[in-house]
Structure 1
Amino acid sequence: MSKALEILKKYWKHDSFRTVQEEIINAVLEGKDTLALLPTGGGKSICFQVPTMMNDGLCLVISPLIALMRDQVQNLQNKGIKAIALTGGINENEIIDLLDNCQYGNYKFLYLSPERLQNDWILERIKNLPINLIAIDEAHCVSQWGHDFRPAYLKINMLKDFFPKIPFLALTATATERVQKDIIEQLNLDNPAFFKKSFSRENLAYMVFEAEDKLHLAEQILKKNPQPSIIYVTNRKACTDTVSQLESLGFKATYYHGGLLPKDKENHMKLWMDEKVQIMVATNAFGMGIDKGNVKTIIHLHLPSNLENYYQEAGRAGRNGEKSFAVLLVNPSDIFHAESQFISILPDKDFLNLVYKKLCNFFRIGYGEGIDEQFNFNLHQFCTQYNLPTLRTYNALQFLDNQGILSISQEFSEKISMQFIIPSKEVIRYMSLNPDDEEIILTILRTYPGIHDIQTSLNTQLISKKANVPELKISQLLEKLKERNIIDYVSKKNDTSITFNEVREDDKTINRVTKHLETQNKLKIEQLQAVLKYINDKKSCKNTLLLDYFGEKTATDCGICSFCIQKKKPTKNNASSISEKIIELLKIQDFNARDIQKLTKFSKDDVIFALQTLMENDKIIIQPNNLYTLKK
């Protein structure tokens, strides 16, 4: 048995590698730069974790996904493997301690975001670490043609100068041929080995259905397939609204979005993972690092903005190899509004300039000032004050964040501060009478010596670690001490903060990134056109369309998607007679598709086909309320 397989069995309890994993690991062990294109669920992390465990030294993992970094570090620690992540909210002293551990404490994995490499002193420390492999996750972010370009990724190639003999492993789940070439060039990979696992998922049926009443169709699908399911929606309100609607229909469901506190995310996730609820309704904040093999159905209630994201989200179904379904529900009005939904909210140069200047004014930052200043931020308040459109403003701020001009933190943590308001001898007396509380109070006193004199911010995570007690127990104690008038205690949710990474230079700042903005806007328009093509193409297998988008050719249709199933069905009814009956009905009054189906007694597929044909021939039109009417 190979040493790699021994490591896999020992720590990950798998008896064999998946397709191309072992080949990637061998290339890395031979010291080759490597580009690996593995679709969602393909086991990318194994490709750098196993070779790292086989050699002395440390693997540097660069990833833009904080949640995924934390998840992987936790999983490694649960296996008894030493791993650290330099995520947001860690102060300089803590970072120094963590990097000391990496240098002297036999740690095997150091995870960090590419933005961390822009700190010179962190880079200097990394240069002295015993690194044996550099893994770049979500490597498509290095390409301006990738679906989530981040300029900070462009700085990664400087690590080549410091570690010329250390292999680079670039990993991504979705990259077109143009993006693959860009990754190799931008990361300065030296004659890399290239591995690509097929994007085809033989057990996953891609379905596109038109439906005026999406919830009604979703209900039918979920009742037919009562196994764990995910419904993707585009915003937080849709999460809670959809859960309420599903519960009224008798389903057990919960929700997940970026605005939940970490403990709520964990609780909702556990309900679904433990199958106490069937359905997780979520925004695209949900899914990264989720390892649940028996997800039967993924339903998208709204149009995705690009096929890269759609493929990843759909790919969370059927990882156990059993037949599963990725269903995209489309309303004619969805397609009609797609351009305004995705394109009109893209910021152009003038709007980006406006938002940047207003933001500086909002925080009273003068020209040439602002670097490293941090502020709490409320998007709604900002947009209201300056009469700015919310979604377009949000996209402008996200672009500024991606460009590294500012950093937006959405940790959704609780900001806690306290001060003892009784004499120290009374605090000692309280501890003697309440020994269960003594360890936490002593830890607070040792960590924050001035807490008797001034209101002091607390890091409950640090206290939890030092006192070896859960964070929840600390919060409960603080509430109890406040009720007994022992402390003055303030806790508020600190959902968003903005840090300015550069001095304010207005036009000069924005002009520097205009080219990237134009490139990204062009890319997003192309991506939406690809989504519309996927939806509107009634003459091609859905699996073939997806594979073609990712540069993979296939000569055979999948046989299980919505197109292939429809192709197999004999058309019993004459299309012209259905069209004639629909026109007769619409002469009386306007109807939606479901009513037309009931009244004509034809199948849903035949009615939809006839309606589409009539619309293409300019015989009828669909109104914003989803009623069909004769064209005048």
Structure 2
Amino acid sequence: MQQPLDILKKYWNHDKFRSPQDEIIKSVLEGKDTFALMPTGGGKSVCFQVPALIQPGICLVVSPLIALMKDQVQNLQKKDIKAMALTGSLSVDEISNLLDNCRFGNYKFLYLSPERLEADWIVERIKELDINLVAIDEAHCVSQWGHDFRPAYLKISKLKKELSNVPFIALTASATKRVQEDIVKQLALKEPQVFKKSFARENIAYMVFECEDKLHRLQQMFTKNPGPAIIYVRNRRACHEVSRQLQSLGFTATYYHGGLKGKEKEANMQGWLKGNIQVMVATNAFGMGIDKPDVKTVTHIQLPENIESYYQEAGRAGRNGQKSFAVVLVSPGDVPAAKSQFLDALPDKVFLKQVYLKLNAFLQIAYGEGMEEVFSFNFNDFCHKYNFPAVKAYNALQFLDRQGVLTLSREFSEKVVMQFLIPSREVVRYTSLNPADEEAILAILRNYTGIFDAETTINIRLITTKAKISEADLMQLLKRMEGQGIIGLRASGNDGAIVFNEVREDEHTINRISKFLEQQNTLKVSQLESVLHYIADTTHCKSRFILEYFDEETTTDCGICSYCISKNKVQLSPLETATAILELLKEKALSSRSIEQQLGLTSKDTVFALQLLLDSKRIILNDHNEYILK
């Protein structure tokens, strides 16, 4: 049997494991249930991928994040490791075919969402596979006290009974002690080996700065530290706006959010990953599976929703071990804005029921129907038609998604409708003259027998998989055939799609899940209060604050966060500050911003001192909004 280090060298080109990866892998190979708490950047995927590759059979990976599943599958395939994911709106036949491939095709990894385990027939098919390990990623989702609780995860304990001789490994990057204990209980792990890596990131300086002009502070930061940077914002409009503003200041910047087409996402991401672009402005859609080691600065210019998410996003800085910065920029309006966005937008049971009923009406789903149907969905049209507040409605839909009632896709999808306009014998003649196109055309003909008689919606992913070509090549072929009059083609973009995972049952559906809604709303209030405490606390080390939030005891300040720096800095009294300002103004007229920069003051201290000098008539403002001696 190959050794773990041999596998690591062969596929990852590393000479040694990071602690405690080797201990976790040893536990799994010994057939023990294992719990691994490893902060962002700790290399969790290696902990289940290495032992799965050593042993015969296939590893089942349960993950709630489609983007992360796709990313991991692509990375494994690049290493010539056979892996697949059951993602998207696949039919029963398509899933069955893929599971057959897993069983007979020597696959090493099968990724699926926890919702797939709610189908008994899928569980039965999984039992037929030679499973060597079950990995539960983002395991905090199994706990009702976790920040993204999904009831579908509770079904995994049923799988544990069915695969009683198979070791299970639960992995998460952020979980309090209460959540850790709940994960072990809910997954029914048997005397698990528990491994916890410290949440301490000694090379990250956690900073909180109050500032009126955030763009100016960003300009200062990226000029002083010109390395790769991420700015997290809360919405798509801010992505474009901040990126454009940074470009106007001479920085290379781009953006990333869930509303971009796949090609644009990839182009923007690659430009940043390759170092051609300094700043990525993004929503939280960006980051999963992104491992760029030299990120110098991660900045939040709007408050995060909870410490768990903040820690994961901030943790994308400094993975190369070099000093880096995790910064929150706060202005006076941010706290009420956060409360409005996160708390006022929490749906209650009445609103949730409204959204659910109107959604069924919008998509014309009759009572008792809708299960496993896929619907194109324009979220903006939906909100406009029923006069729903967008954020609150989206939160309601996300809750329905997490509860497994439906699956909401925010990825750009292209609906392709086509029909052959020439007889089948002419299509055969065309393929004989164009052998490079044969596989794709045959895949379409085999899967859509009525495509000569009527317009037919085709599944792009299915055809590209069958024909072993890229989506871009397939679309190019279809457009070429359309231009030659061989097919009629309609391709339209939709900003989302919805798959209903159960039949419409109105009151019964809402009553069943509303208890979780109340509990999660209470949790979200508590989590936001922790964020507000983090930014407002001026008496504790920021790094220690985060460690203590995750129940990690420490008695040592980090020495590099904004609190530690301010504590060690000699504080000027208002009178001393005013005196220093007067000395500066003897040289030339200065703006308040220039005074603040030159003296290294906070905005608050600068404004206070300037007001004292104005009130005492020692200085005045000139026509250029600069201060001069009177």
Q: TM-score normalized by structure 2?
A: 0.90
For residues 443 and 371 of structure 1, the distance between their equivalents in structure 2, rounded to whole angstroms, comes to 27
Q: Which residue of 2 aligns with 1:126?
A: 126
Moved more, 371-380 or 310-319: 371-380
For residues 568 and 25 of structure 2, the distance between their equivalents in structure 1, rounded to whole angstroms, comes to 43
For residues 37 and 129 of structure 1, the distance between their equivalents in structure 2, rounded to whole angstroms, comes to 28
> In 2 relative to 1, CA 2–344 (structure 1 residues): closer, same or farther, beyond 3 Å?
same
Alignment of 1:231-380 (within 5 A): 231-380=231-380
For residues 162 and 289 of structure 2, the distance between their equivalents in structure 1, rounded to whole angstroms, comes to 31
Are 1:605 and 2:601 counterparts? yes
Shift in Å at residue 66 of structure 1? 0.9
Alignment of 1:138-537 (within 5 A): 138-424=138-424, 426-427=426-427, 437=437, 440-537=440-537
Determine if contact 1:414/1:492 at 8 Å carries over to the other structure.
Answer: yes
For residues 531 and 57 of structure 2, the distance between their equivalents in structure 1, rounded to whole angstroms, comes to 44
For residues 2 and 482 of structure 1, the distance between their equivalents in structure 2, rounded to whole angstroms, comes to 53
Q: Which residue of 2 aligns with 1:574?
A: 573
Gaps in structure 2 of 5+ consecutive residues? 582-589, 611-630
Determine if contact 1:581/1:600 at 8 Å carries over to the other structure.
Answer: no
Shift in Å at residue 34 of structure 1? 1.2
Determine if contact 1:597/1:603 at 8 Å carries over to the other structure.
Answer: no
Q: Which residue of 1 aligns with 2:109?
A: 109
Q: Which amino acid aligns with 2:574?
A: A
Shift in Å at residue 375 of structure 1? 2.5
> In 2 relative to 1, CA 578–602 (structure 1 residues): closer, same or farther, beyond 3 Å?
farther
For residues 231 and 600 of structure 1, the distance between their equivalents in structure 2, rounded to whole angstroms, comes to 24
Partner SS, residue 299 of structure 2: strand
Q: Which amino acid aligns with 1:143?
A: S
For residues 600 and 504 of structure 1, the distance between their equivalents in structure 2, rounded to whole angstroms, comes to 60
Q: TM-score normalized by structure 1?
A: 0.90
Q: Deviations over 1:129-156 (max 9, x none)?
A: 1112111000000011101000100111
Determine if contact 2:464/2:474 at 8 Å carries over to the other structure.
Answer: yes
Determine if contact 2:152/2:403 at 8 Å carries over to the other structure.
Answer: yes
Q: Which amino acid aligns with 2:378?
A: N
For residues 375 and 600 of structure 1, the distance between their equivalents in structure 2, rounded to whole angstroms, comes to 55
Determine if contact 2:307/2:530 at 8 Å carries over to the other structure.
Answer: yes
For residues 267 and 304 of structure 1, the distance between their equivalents in structure 2, rounded to whole angstroms, comes to 27
> In 2 relative to 1, CA 244–487 (structure 1 residues): closer, same or farther, beyond 3 Å?
same
> In 2 relative to 1, CA 126–533 (structure 1 residues): closer, same or farther, beyond 3 Å?
same
For residues 118 and 455 of structure 2, the distance between their equivalents in structure 1, rounded to whole angstroms, comes to 34
Q: Deviations over 1:501-533 (max 9, x none)?
A: 333332332122221111100111111010011
Are 1:540 and 2:545 counterparts? no
Determine if contact 2:210/2:603 at 8 Å carries over to the other structure.
Answer: no
Partner SS, residue 326 of structure 2: strand
Shift in Å at residue 275 of structure 1? 1.3
> In 2 relative to 1, CA 468–381 (structure 1 residues): closer, same or farther, beyond 3 Å?
closer
Q: Which amino acid aligns with 2:171?
A: L
Q: Which amino acid aligns with 2:419?
A: Q
Shift in Å at residue 455 of structure 1? 1.3
RMSD: 2.5
Moved more, 407-416 or 535-544: 407-416
For residues 271 and 448 of structure 2, the distance between their equivalents in structure 1, rounded to whole angstroms, comes to 37
> In 2 relative to 1, CA 10–379 (structure 1 residues): closer, same or farther, beyond 3 Å?
same
Q: Deviations over 1:219-238 (max 9, x none)?
A: 11112222211111111111
Partner SS, residue 365 of structure 2: coil
Partner SS, residue 414 of structure 1: strand
> In 2 relative to 1, CA 92–502 (structure 1 residues): closer, same or farther, beyond 3 Å?
closer
> In 2 relative to 1, CA 438–62 (structure 1 residues): closer, same or farther, beyond 3 Å?
closer
Determine if contact 2:24/2:195 at 8 Å carries over to the other structure.
Answer: yes
Q: Which amino acid aligns with 2:88?
A: G
For residues 400 and 316 of structure 1, the distance between their equivalents in structure 2, rounded to whole angstroms, comes to 29
Moved more, 420-429 or 478-487: 420-429
> In 2 relative to 1, CA 172–421 (structure 1 residues): closer, same or farther, beyond 3 Å?
same
Q: Deviations over 1:350-390 (max 9, x none)?
A: 11122222222323434444333432222222222222211
Q: Which residue of 1 aligns with 2:623?
A: none
> In 2 relative to 1, CA 383–46 (structure 1 residues): closer, same or farther, beyond 3 Å?
same
Q: Which amino acid aligns with 1:400?
A: L
Determine if contact 1:575/1:606 at 8 Å carries over to the other structure.
Answer: no
For residues 99 and 432 of structure 2, the distance between their equivalents in structure 1, rounded to whole angstroms, comes to 39
Number of equivalences: 603
Partner SS, residue 605 of structure 1: coil
Q: Which residue of 1 aligns with 2:626?
A: none
Q: Which amino acid aligns with 1:231?
A: I
For residues 168 and 298 of structure 1, the distance between their equivalents in structure 2, rounded to whole angstroms, comes to 34
For residues 575 and 311 of structure 1, the distance between their equivalents in structure 2, rounded to whole angstroms, comes to 36
Determine if contact 1:578/1:607 at 8 Å carries over to the other structure.
Answer: no
Q: Which residue of 1 aligns with 2:587?
A: none
Partner SS, residue 216 of structure 1: helix
Are 1:91 and 2:87 counterparts? no
> In 2 relative to 1, CA 469–107 (structure 1 residues): closer, same or farther, beyond 3 Å?
closer
Shift in Å at residue 300 of structure 1? 1.0
Determine if contact 1:36/1:169 at 8 Å carries over to the other structure.
Answer: yes
For residues 567 and 454 of structure 1, the distance between their equivalents in structure 2, rounded to whole angstroms, comes to 74
